[in-house]
Amino acid sequence: MLGWLFASPADRRLLGGGRLRGPTPWVIAIMSFSIFIIAATGLALAHTAGLLSSAIQARYSVEVPGGSSNLDVILRTVRSAPGVASAEAVPEREMRKTLERWLGPAAASPDLPVPALVNFDVKPGVDLGEIGRRVAAAAPTATISAHRETVKPLLKSLRVLQWVAFGLVLMLSAAAAAAVVLAARGALDTHRSTIEVMHGVGATDLQVTHLFQRKIAIDAFVGSVAGAATAALVLLLLTAGAAFAGELVGGATLGPGDFLVLLLLPLALTGLATWVARAAVLAALRRAL
């Protein structure tokens, strides 16, 4: 099935010239670079959305606007309610520290009202109404909100971005395929006289096709691996830079399956280019005679 990859030296001489000449490896490398970056971004978004979604699925908050002096009472009330797996109060200083990122030193002002907050996780099938009644008895102004509702718009945006990334990968793959078709047609034009002679001495279309298919497969493999390797390096540098700056840590991440997908991308691109080249050459040859 892959015998065409292992051409004899005589067959390799038939198309003349060296490998990696012409624009094909470069075009494929650029496409591979772009596809790798976009695919990595899309996969990271998908992975992060999944992690976020599962982490907040059972998480709720009790919020007392304007703060509360009896935070410990609320915390105990929540912990003792049936179906609550865990609960923890968010200290005021931590909330002010979070607000400081947006408000600056003003976040430390005692004039800024900071709500009292207790986060809790529930077990499946819990009666939230019972928890609400107990909390209301301890703090009448308290409200309970589900994290998944708060984060829903963000998750939706992440999903949309993930599909946009997937669409871009498909479009770039189609562009790479189109570039290969042009390269194959160019190669056929360049080697038209050789093809005529080969046909004249009894070569089959497949024998001729295998020569071009092999040449383009090698170009595509080298180009796609080089592009993907460069993209991986760029992503590593960006990640390292972000970690050094203290940003994005704990943000977008890739799962083990995602790394596998990224590793397979250059091979998939090579496979696509090879298949497209084969189809383009065979179609062009069949138009003759």
Partner 1 sequence: MALVGILGFKARKEQTLEAVAEFDSVGLRYGTGGEVLRDLDFRLANGGFYFLTGPSGAGKTSLLKLLYVAQRPTRGRIRLFGEELTEAPRDALPAYRRRIGVVFQDFRLIRHLSAFDNVALPLRVAGASEEEVEGPVREMLAWVGLADRASARPPTLSGGEQQRVAIARAVINRPDILVADEPTGNVDAEMAKRLLHLFTALNRLGTTVVVATHDIGLISATPGAQLIRLENGSVVDPTGALKNPPASHNKGGS
| Residue 153 to residues 53, 159, 162, Cα–Cα distance (Å) | 12, 10, 14
Give all strands of the β-sheet with 116-122 in edge-to-edge order: 84-90, 116-122, 59-64, 143-146
Per DSSP, the three-state class of 63 is strand
Residue 87 and residue 131: Cα distance in Å, rounded? Answer: 12
Q: How far is the CB of 288 from partner 1 (least distance, A)?
A: 9
Q: How many CB atoms lie within 10 A of CB 222?
A: 18
> Does 283 engage in binding with partner 1 (CB under 8 A)?
no
> Does 12 engage in binding with partner 1 (CB under 8 A)?
no
Q: How far is the CB of 268 from partner 1 (least distance, A)?
A: 31
Beta strands in 35-140 (DSSP E): 59-64, 84-90, 116-122
Query: Cα 69 to the chain's mean position, in Å?
Result: 45
Give the nearer residue to partner 1 in terms of CB position, either 1 or 10.
10
Q: Given candidates 5, 16, 238, 257, which one binds partner 1 under the rule CB under 8 A?
A: 16
> Does 211 engage in binding with partner 1 (CB under 8 A)?
no
Q: Given candidates 13, 123, 133, 156, which one binds partner 1 under the rule CB under 8 A?
A: 13
Give the nearer residue to partner 1 in terms of CB position, either 88 or 196.
196
Ramachandran assignment for 20, one of left (phi > 0), alpha (psi -120 to 50 degrees), beta (any other): left
Q: How far is the CB of 195 from partner 1 (least distance, A)?
A: 10
Give the nearer residue to partner 1 in terms of CB position, either 195 or 225.
195
Give the nearer residue to partner 1 in terms of CB position, either 47 or 191.
191
Contact, 216 vs 183, CB < 8 A?
Answer: yes
Q: What is the DSSP letter of 68?
A: -
User: By rule CB under 8 A, what count of residues binds partner 1?
Assistant: 22
Q: Given candidates 17, 91, 167, 251, which one binds partner 1 under the rule CB under 8 A?
A: 17
Give the nearer residue to partner 1 in terms of CB position, either 205 or 258.
205
Per DSSP, the three-state class of 257 is helix
Q: Which helix (H) or strand (E) holds 202?
A: none
> Does 22 engage in binding with partner 1 (CB under 8 A)?
no
Beta bridge partners, 119, equal 61, 88
Please identify, among the stretches 5-13, 89-97, 142-150, 251-259, the one whose residues bind partner 1 according to the rule CB under 8 A: 5-13
Q: Of residues 176-205, which lie at the interface with partner 1 (CB under 8 A)?
A: 193-194, 196-205
Q: Given candidates 1, 2, 10, 245, which one binds partner 1 under the rule CB under 8 A?
A: 10
Cα–Cα–Cα angle for 59, 60, 64, nearest 5°? Answer: 150
Residue 237 and residue 233: Cα distance in Å, rounded? Answer: 6
Per DSSP, the three-state class of 139 is coil
Q: Given candidates 2, 3, 6, 8, which one binds partner 1 under the rule CB under 8 A?
A: 8
> Does 253 engage in binding with partner 1 (CB under 8 A)?
no
Residues of this chain that interact with partner 1 (CB under 8 A) are 8, 10-11, 13-14, 16-17, 193-194, 196-205, 207, 286, 289
